[in-house]
Amino acid sequence: MTDHYAVIGHPISHSKSPLIHKLFAEQTGQDIEYERIEAPIDGFEKTVRDLQGKGYKGCNVTVPFKFEAFAIANRRSERAATAQAVNTLKFDGDMFGDNTDGAGLVHDIEENLGVRLKGKRVLLMGAGGASYGVTLPLLQTHCTLTVANRTVEKAIKLAAAFSGVQASNYADLAEKQFDVVVNATSSGLSDELPPLPPGVFSEGALAYDMMYGKETPFMSFARANGAAVADGLGMLVEQAAEAFYIWRGIRPDTRPVIAKLRS
Ligand code: ATR
C-alpha cells in the first residue's frame, strides 16, 4: 500500500521536495507519494490535521510554518526543541516533530564537500530562524562557533540559548579569520551583502550559502576573496534525506540526487 506524505508551505509552488522524495523512493524501492500543499496563512494546523485524518504518514514544513509546526507537535527531538522550529512531522499516533535542517547542513559540509568541522573556526552569519535551526548540529561537530548579526542583540540572545557560542557584530570580525563561513541571513533574497570584512576567510576557507538557485553577493564576495564556495542545494537534499530516514528507516544515497538536481 502506498504511504502518503506532503510538504506544506506558503508559497509552495517552487518546492523541489516532491522531486527529491520521488528520486529517493525510486532509489530505495519505497512505495510513497509526496505532494506539495499550499496551506492558507491562517490554516496550517487544520491542513495538518486533515492530512493526519486521511491517513498520511507525515509531512515536511517550510516557510512560514516551522514555528507553528513546532507548537502542534506533541513529541519533539532535541534538535527541534533547540531550534524552536520543526520541518518534519511524523504521524505515528502522536505527532512527532523534528528538525533536519542542521543535520542537512552538517552532512553536506562534511560528507559531500569533505570538510571535517571538528576543531574548525566556523562563522554563522544571521541570528534568525535559519540560524537557530542549524546551531545545535553545528556545535555537536565540536567546531568553534561564532554567530555574527547586524542587530547584535539577536546574536547575543542566540548565544545565550546555546552554551559554547560566541556572539559578535560584523565590525569586530575585522581581525579574525574563519575556516568555514555560513550565510544563514536572508540577505541574498534582496541581493545584499552582509557587512563582512574581506579578510575573514582563512587560507582554503569554505564559504557556504544556505540559499540555492542563484549566485548571491556573498558567494561572489567569498570567491573574490579566495574562498571555495558552495550553495545550499546539497543541504536541501540532505535535510530531505534525513526526513526520509525518519519516516522510512532507510537513508537514501544523496549524491546522484544532488547531481540530478544540478544538471
Ligand atoms: P530566517 O528565518 O530566514 O532566519 P529572519 O528570522 O527574518 O529569517 O532573519 C533574517 C536574518 O538575516 C537576520 O539575522 C537579519 O539580520 P538582522 O537581525 O540584523 O535584521 C539577517 N539579514 C537580512 N538582511 C541582511 C543584510 N543585508 N545584511 C546582514 N544581515 C541581514
Q: What is the secondary structure of 161-214 as a DSSP string?
A: HSTTEEEE-SGGGTT--EEEEEE-SSGGGGT------GGGEEEEEEEEES--SS
- The predicted model scores a pTM of 0.97
pLDDT band at 130 (very low <50, low <70, confident <90, very high): very high
**Ligand 1 neighbours (beta carbon < 6 A):** 126-131, 149-151, 154, 185-187, 192, 194
Q: What is the best residue among 62, 146, 150, 196 to mutate for testing ligand 1's pocket, by most ligand atoms within 8 Å of CB?
A: 150
Q: What percent of the chain has pLDDT over 90?
A: 100
pLDDT at 67: 97
pLDDT at 16: 97
Average pLDDT over residues 50-78: 97
Decide if 181 contacts 168 (C-beta within 8 A): no
pLDDT at 174: 96
Task: Give the chain's length.
Answer: 263
Q: Name all domains of the chain by residue range, CATH numbers in brackets.
A: 3-99+235-262 (3.40.50.10860), 102-231 (3.40.50.720)
Q: Which atom of ligand 1 is nearest to the CA of 63?
A: 2
Q: Which three cell numbers stand for residue 222?
A: 567569498
User: What are the tens digits of pLDDT across the range 192-234?
Assistant: 999 999 999 999 999 999 999 999 999 999 999 999 999 999 9
pLDDT band at 27 (very low <50, low <70, confident <90, very high): very high
Ligand 1 centre distance from Cα of residue 161 (Å): 18
pLDDT at 131: 97
Phi, psi dihedrals of residue 20, rounded to the nearest 5°: -60, -45
Phi, psi dihedrals of residue 180, rounded to the nearest 5°: -135, 130
Ligand 1 centre distance from Cα of residue 130 (Å): 9
pLDDT at 71: 98
With b meaning 16 or more CB within 10 Å and e meaning fewer, what string describes 198-212?
A: eebbbeebbbbbbbb
Supply the mean pLDDT for the chain.
Answer: 97
Q: Which three cell numbers stand for residue 86?
A: 520543526
SS3 88: strand
Using CA positions, which residue lies closest to atom 25 of ligand 1? Answer: 187
Angle of helix 129-139 relative to helix 152-161, nearest 10 degrees? Answer: 40
pLDDT at 57: 98
Contacts of 162 (CB under 8 A, 6+ apart): 82, 135, 136, 139
Average pLDDT over residues 231-244: 98
pLDDT at 133: 96
Residues labelled catalytic: 66
Decide if 60 contacts 6 (C-beta within 8 A): yes
Residue 140 CA from chain centroid, whole number: 15
Ligand 1 centre distance from Cα of residue 106 (Å): 21
Beta bridge partners of 203: none
pLDDT at 8: 98
Average pLDDT over residues 51-64: 97
Ligand 1 centre distance from Cα of residue 160 (Å): 18
Average pLDDT over residues 132-160: 98
In whole angstroms, give the CA distance from residue 59 to residue 76.
14
Decide if 5 contacts 33 (C-beta within 8 A): yes
Q: Which three cell numbers stand for residue 252?
A: 537514501
